[in-house]
Amino acid sequence: MELVENDTAIITGAASGIGRTTAKTFANHGASVVVADVDEDGGADTVAAITENGGDATFVRTDVSDPTSVQETIETAVDEYGGLDVLFNNAAIEGPVARLEEYDDDAFEQVIDVNLKGVWYGMKYGIEAMLADDGGSIISASSIGGEVAVPQYSGYGAAKAAVGQLTKYAAIEYAEDGIRANAVAPGIVRTEMIERTIDEHPEMEEQFQNTEPMPGLADPEEIANAVLFLGSNLSSRVTGVTLPVEGGYLAQ
């Protein structure tokens, strides 16, 4: 079933992990995908994987922490494909793993710039494009760390909590304009982000394996499918929610 047939979807952070898998999933379901990332090589690999499979994708170098860059990417998508239907604000950095008093000030700012301001710019310019067309669906990547405190992730968690709140504002302010805004809150997903953390802090691997009540780590496909639901008409009456995709972690 092609759930997003003829839609245009911008996916930030699509050079890796959840973003790349979501880009492939949307392309498999009929969308034209704009792969937006700072990583040009990874972005090219995502585009190649989609086009080799008969899908439609373009890479646009995008730094989500730079409003001009976000605006230009959205303009490119609209110019190239005639509109914007889905925006997945997925790009983020993990930042330091450190307790609050040891958390570096510059790193905190960087985490806020990418993980919070990046989502804000995406919403701001994405909504502008969707208002000019016939609405659309915005999905943003939150985390279990945005719902409850996960020790040593204060900057990351604060940004993710704010993503949930921005999602509610966007949902309420544009409910009459055909624009829906939702978020997903993954638990621990097998991606490059988690691999980097395990490389730096090998002691955390066992903790990650045992975080979710369901055994092991999530596969990126399990998050991508939730994003596909929120990006398609299957969720036509769903707006303002942060959907947990975390094997039951938040139910405890």
Ligand X SMILES: NC(=O)c1ccc[n+]([C@@H]2O[C@H](COP(=O)([O-])OP(=O)(O)OC[C@H]3O[C@@H](n4cnc5c(N)ncnc54)[C@H](O)[C@@H]3O)[C@@H](O)[C@H]2O)c1
Residue with smallest beta-carbon separation from ligand X? 17
Number of residues near ligand X (by CB under 6 A): 29
Residue 186 binding ligand X, by CB under 6 A: yes
Residue 16 binding ligand X, by CB under 6 A: yes
User: Exactly one of 156, 169, 174, 249 is catalytic; which is it?
Assistant: 156
Contact partners, residue 105, CB within 8 Å, separation at least 6: none
Residue 243 binding ligand X, by CB under 6 A: no
Residue 92 binding ligand X, by CB under 6 A: yes
Among 64, 183, 227, 243, binds ligand X (CB under 6 A): 64
Question: For residues 78 and 141, which CB has a smaller minimum distance to ligand X in the complex?
Answer: 141
Question: For residues 131 and 225, which CB has a smaller minimum distance to ligand X in the complex?
Answer: 225
Cα 1 from Cα 30, distance rounded (Å)? 9
Cα 14 from Cα 229, distance rounded (Å)? 18
Residue 65 binding ligand X, by CB under 6 A: yes
Please report which residue ranges of the chain form alpha helices under DSSP H. Answer: 17-28, 40-52, 67-81, 105-111, 118-132, 154-173, 192-200, 204-209, 220-231
Task: Report in angstroms the alpha-carbon separations of 52 from 3, 48, 57.
Answer: 20, 6, 10
Among 191, 232, 235, 239, binds ligand X (CB under 6 A): 191
- For residue 156, indicate whether it is catalytic: yes
Stretch binding ligand X (CB under 6 A), from 80-88, 172-180, 189-197, 227-235: 189-197
Q: If you ran DSSP here, which 8-state letter would residue 153 be given?
A: B
Q: How far is the CB of 140 from ligand X (least distance, A)?
A: 8
**Other CB atoms within 10 Å distance of the CB of residue 112:** 18
Residue 119 binding ligand X, by CB under 6 A: no
Residue 241 binding ligand X, by CB under 6 A: no
Residue 218: strand, helix, or coil: strand
Question: For residues 179 and 194, which CB has a smaller minimum distance to ligand X in the complex?
Answer: 194
Stretch binding ligand X (CB under 6 A), from 34-42, 101-109, 127-135, 168-176: 34-42
Largest CA distance in the chain: 50
Among 90, 152, 232, 239, binds ligand X (CB under 6 A): 90
Q: How far is the CB of 43 from ligand X (least distance, A)?
A: 8
Residue 118: strand, helix, or coil: helix
Task: Report in angstroms the alpha-carbon separations of 109 from 136, 186, 203.
Answer: 30, 23, 27
Residue 9: strand, helix, or coil: strand
Given the rule CB under 6 A, which residues bind ligand X? 12-13, 15-19, 37-39, 42, 62-65, 90-93, 114, 141, 143, 186, 188-189, 191-194
Residues marked active site are found at 156
